[in-house]
């Protein structure tokens, strides 16, 4: 039987709230990367090129195969929520939208005390801290959200942004890498990492790679992206890595197919010659 949440709450709204609250039970998949929480923690940049999407080639024809992006693992999760918890979260969202941060936090605290397996409330607490210019507190809340649900890719994205605003650019780079280790085809993670590489870390080559990945994966792209990529390409002297990689693979496949075709032609001629000889022998009998 469907639960009633009040006349102003639609079924779609409830579904969205449920998604925002979704539990992280059994979802803490280890990726080998750990998050940098403290500003005093020394970090080095980690490689991110292994998360770049690439086109694939049909080895039998040389044609381009349709790219199948990895689905968002956060959306695949399911969980049971009480009507009371959903109502509290809806109230918290409304209060936050109306600038009533303290009241929103009260509802969020109720949720976290009742159910400690929900990451959504911690993300919203982080958002409130950002609004209040308490970035250190925001970092703590986003990290807590990730501890509760390591597949909450939005929490990673918000954490990295807070780290960037604190001037912890390498920490932010590590967090974006962690995000992509969870969901390698996350368009916004590639975009924000590209921004970080270009504007904060002065690494235009890496920026170009991840912005090209974003261009390839995203359904809706900002108007400025094309001009930005053109500027990056001019600065780096590099063409679009996706097209360069695909063309190289395609040429290799076509060359192999051509070689195999060349090898098969002499055999076909030999067979035809033998057949002609047999026909001649039969006609002279």
Q: Tell me the per-residue pLDDT of 195-243, one tens digit each, with 9 for 90 and over.
A: 999 999 999 999 999 999 999 999 999 999 999 999 999 999 999 999 9
**Long-range contacts for 4-7 (Cβ within 8 Å, ≥24 apart)?**
5/83, 5/86, 5/87, 5/90, 6/87
Domains in the chain, CATH or no CATH each = 70-184 (1.25.40.10), 208-261 (no CATH)
Start-to-end CA distance of the chain, whole Å, equals 90
pLDDT at 10 over 60: no
Identify which has the larger pLDDT, 251 or 4: 251
pLDDT digits (tens, 9 = 90+) for 236-279: 999 999 999 999 999 999 999 999 887 776 555 555 565 555 55
Please give the average per-residue pLDDT across 69-76, as a whole number.
91
Q: What is the pLDDT of residue 6?
A: 37
Confidence of residue 39 (pLDDT cuts 50, 70, 90): confident
Dmax over CA atoms of the chain, in Å, equals 107
pLDDT digits (tens, 9 = 90+) for 151-195: 999 999 999 999 999 999 999 999 999 999 999 999 999 999 999
Cβ atoms of 23 and 118 within 8 Å: the answer is yes
pTM: 0.81
Alpha carbons 283 and 285: distance in angstroms, whole number: 6
Q: What is the pLDDT of residue 18?
A: 52
Alpha carbons 186 and 268: distance in angstroms, whole number: 50
Q: What is the pLDDT of residue 184?
A: 98
Compute how many other C-beta atoms are within 10 angstroms of the C-beta atom of residue 112. 16
Q: What is the pLDDT of residue 285?
A: 55
Compute how many other C-beta atoms are within 10 angstroms of the C-beta atom of residue 231. 14
Q: At what angle do helices 11-21 and 120-131 cross, to 10 degrees?
A: 90
């Amino acid at each position: 039987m469907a639960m009633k949440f009040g006349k102003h709450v639609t079924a779609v709204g409830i579904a969205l709230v449920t998604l925002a609250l979704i539990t992280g039970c059994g979802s803490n998949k280890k990726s080998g990367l750990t998050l940098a929480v403290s500003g005093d923690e020394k970090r080095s940049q980690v490689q991110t090129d292994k998360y770049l999407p690439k086109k694939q080639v049909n080895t039998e024809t040389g044609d381009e195969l349709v790219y199948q992006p990895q689905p968002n693992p956060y959306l695949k999760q399911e969980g049971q929520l009480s009507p009371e918890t959903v109502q509290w979260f809806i109230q918290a969202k409304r209060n936050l939208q109306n600038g009533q941060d303290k009241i929103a936090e009260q509802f969020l605290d109720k949720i976290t005390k009742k159910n400690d397996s929900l990451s959504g409330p911690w993300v919203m607490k982080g958002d409130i801290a950002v609004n209040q210019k308490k970035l250190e507190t925001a970092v703590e809340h986003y990290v807590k959200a990730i501890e509760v649900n390591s597949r909450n890719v939005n929490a990673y994205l918000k954490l990295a942004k807070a780290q960037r605003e604190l001037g912890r650019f390498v920490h932010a780079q590590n967090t974006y890498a962690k995000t992509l280790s969870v969901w390698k085809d996350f368009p916004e993670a590639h975009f924000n990492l590209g921004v970080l590489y270009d504007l904060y870390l002065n690494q235009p080559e890496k920026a170009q790679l991840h912005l090209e990945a974003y261009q390839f994966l995203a359904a809706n792209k900002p108007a400025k992206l094309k001009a930005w990529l053109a500027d990056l390409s001019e600065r780096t002297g590099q063409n679009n890595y996706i097209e360069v990689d695909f063309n190289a693979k395609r040429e290799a496949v076509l060359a192999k197919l051509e070689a195999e075709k060349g090898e098969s032609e002499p055999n076909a001629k030999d067979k035809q010659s033998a057949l002609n000889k047999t026909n001649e022998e039969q006609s002279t009998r």
